[in-house]
Structure 1
Amino acid sequence: MFGDYSIGDLGAIFAMQGFAGLILFSVFVLMALGLAIIFGQMGVINMAHGEFMILGAYVTWATSGFFQQNLPALFPGYFFVAMILAFIAAGALGMLVEWALIRHLYRRPLDTLLATWGLSLILQQAYRSAFGAREVGVELPDWMMGSKHLTDTIEVPINGIFVMCLTALITCAVAYVLFWSRWGRQVRAVVQNRVMAGAVGINTEKVDRYTFGLGCGIAGIAGSAFTMIGSTGPTSGQLYIVDTFMVVVFGGAASLVGTIASAFTISQARSTLEFFLSGSMAQVLTLLAIVGILMLRPQGLFALKVRK
């Protein structure tokens, strides 16, 4: 596998694939953060999480078109507006879904799996009817185009650097909200002991709704970031949902550190193996390694101890 490359070529390949892995890592983290909040904190298996991501991508695409046609002078900054709108749209839809569907299915994980799987099919058809079956892509502003040359053989795309910076910012914001804000303390109290949290005056139903909305809103931001590196279609979210669940389970449910570590490990392994092998073989080998590790440590890399 390595015999046809010199030491210098291998160094350049690992550097380039490592950076490509960081871009994939960024998308995985943004997707997995929302899913870890929903699955880890609430025990809800949300198979429609990818469709909330695609909603954010479509909102970004629509915002891009609006700025191009009506506000061309402000087009270079449209993405920041699109990201906020994507978070609001996906978060609002998530809160509506929690109120109409999820709140009736708590403590029934298999039922939530089936219900959200059906919801994902409904949303896919809704996107197909509203936006068409063909994939769409956004036009990047000029400041996101091009790449930075690190050496003669290594260059990194500017939009990839932007996605990574955005991921770091969102991760820090989520960590602050969950671990240092008053609402985050309420969320952790509900997770540890729902009955006692309700007894001391915490509105557990409100916490559940906002938690689900936050997880879906982060998926909407992941959709905005996704448009920077790929095209968007009605079924694009399903390409990431399995990988996202794999990241959450491998890292340990409800563990922010575990989610980040798991996303980094899986993305780097996938990116490097895909260069030397086929994409399907890279997926198979990565999955086999994760299954082997989970057999030895079924709680994941980092597991939180909570009272039941």
Structure 2
Amino acid sequence: MFSDYSLAELSSIFVMQGFAGLILFSVFLLMALGLAIIFGQMGVINMAHGEFMILGAYVTYFTSQFFLNFIPDLFSVYFFVAMILAFIASGALGMLVEWLMIRRLYKRPLDTLLATWGLSLILQQFYRSVFGPREVGVELPSWMMGSLPLTDVVEVQINGLFVMALTIVITIAVALLMYKSNWGKQVRAVVQNRMMASAVGINTEKVDRYTFGLGCGIAGIAGSAFTMIGSTGPTSGQLYIVDTFLVVVFGGAQSLLGTIASAFTISQAQSTMEFFLSGSTAKVLTLLSVVIILMLRPQGLFVIKVRR
């Protein structure tokens, strides 16, 4: 596999694939952050998480079209507006879904899996009917175009650097929200002991709704980032949902640090193997490796002890 390349060529390949893996890591992490909040904090298996991401992607696309057609002078900043709108749209839909369906299914993980899988199919058909079956792509502002040369043969994409910077900012914001804010303390109190949290005056239903909305809103931001590296279609979210669940389970469902470490490990392994092997083979080998590790350590890379 490596014998056909010189040492210099292999070094360049690993650097370039490493950077591609970082871009994939950014999307995985943004998706997994939202899913980890929903699954880790609430015990809800949300199979429609990819569709919340694609809603954010569609919001980003239509925002770009609006700026391009009506206020082209401000097109260079449309993406920041699109991210906010994507977060609001996906978060609002998430809270609506929690109020209509999810709140009736707590402590029934299999039922949440089946219900959200059905919701996933409904949303896919809704997107197909409203936005059309064809994939669409956003036009990037000029300052996001191009690449920066690292060496004579290695270049990094500017939009990839932006996605990574966005991921760092969102991750820090989520960490501060979950571990430093009063609302984050309420969420962790509900996770550790729901009955006691309710007894001391915490509105657990409100915490659940906002937590689910936050997880879906972060998925919407992931959708905005996704538009920079791929086209948007009604079923695009399904391409990432399995990998995202893999990241959350492998890292430890209630551990932010575990989610970060897991997303980095899986994205780098998958990106590097895809260069030397086929994409399907790389996914199979990654899945097998994770399954073997989980057989030895079923709680994931990191685990947080909570009272039940």
* Alignment TM-score, normalising by the size of structure 2: 1.00
Structure 1 counterpart of 2:30: 30
User: 1:45-100 deviations in whole A, cap 9, x for unaligned?
Assistant: 00000000000000000000000010000000000000000000000000000000
| Equivalence map 1:1-308=2 (5 Å) | 1-308=1-308
Q: CA offset at residue 262 of structure 1?
A: 0.1
Matched positions, count: 308
Aligned amino acid, residue 46 of structure 1: N
SS in 1 for 2:148: strand
List 4+ stretches of structure 1 deviating above 3 A. none
Structure 1 unaligned residues grouped into runs of 5+: none
User: 1:142-175 deviations in whole A, cap 9, x for unaligned?
Assistant: 0000000000011000000000000000000000
User: 1:244-281 deviations in whole A, cap 9, x for unaligned?
Assistant: 00000000011000000000000000000000000011
Aligned amino acid, residue 72 of structure 1: P
Q: CA offset at residue 44 of structure 1?
A: 0.1
SS in 1 for 2:272: helix
SS in 2 for 1:24: helix
User: 1:107-148 deviations in whole A, cap 9, x for unaligned?
Assistant: 000000000000000000110011000000000000000000
Distance in 1 separating the partners of 2:258 and 2:66: 39
Structure 2 unaligned residues grouped into runs of 5+: none
Distance in 1 separating the partners of 2:285 and 2:238: 20
Aligned amino acid, residue 227 of structure 1: T
Q: CA offset at residue 33 of structure 1?
A: 0.1
SS in 2 for 1:53: helix
Aligned amino acid, residue 16 of structure 2: M
Aligned amino acid, residue 296 of structure 1: L
Distance in 2 separating the partners of 1:60 and 1:92: 16
Q: CA offset at residue 232 of structure 1?
A: 0.2
* Alignment TM-score, normalising by the size of structure 1: 1.00
Distance in 1 separating the partners of 2:48 and 2:275: 30
Aligned amino acid, residue 117 of structure 1: W
User: 1:225-255 deviations in whole A, cap 9, x for unaligned?
Assistant: 0001110000000000000000000000110
SS in 2 for 1:148: strand
Aligned amino acid, residue 295 of structure 1: M
Distance in 2 separating the partners of 1:156 and 1:69: 30
SS in 2 for 1:188: helix
Identity in percent: 81
SS in 2 for 1:107: coil
Aligned amino acid, residue 219 of structure 1: A
Distance in 2 separating the partners of 1:104 and 1:289: 36
SS in 2 for 1:22: helix
SS in 2 for 1:168: helix
Distance in 1 separating the partners of 2:91 and 2:254: 19
Q: CA offset at residue 32 of structure 1?
A: 0.1
Q: CA offset at residue 25 of structure 1?
A: 0.0
Distance in 2 separating the partners of 1:239 and 1:307: 35
SS in 1 for 2:244: helix
SS in 1 for 2:275: helix
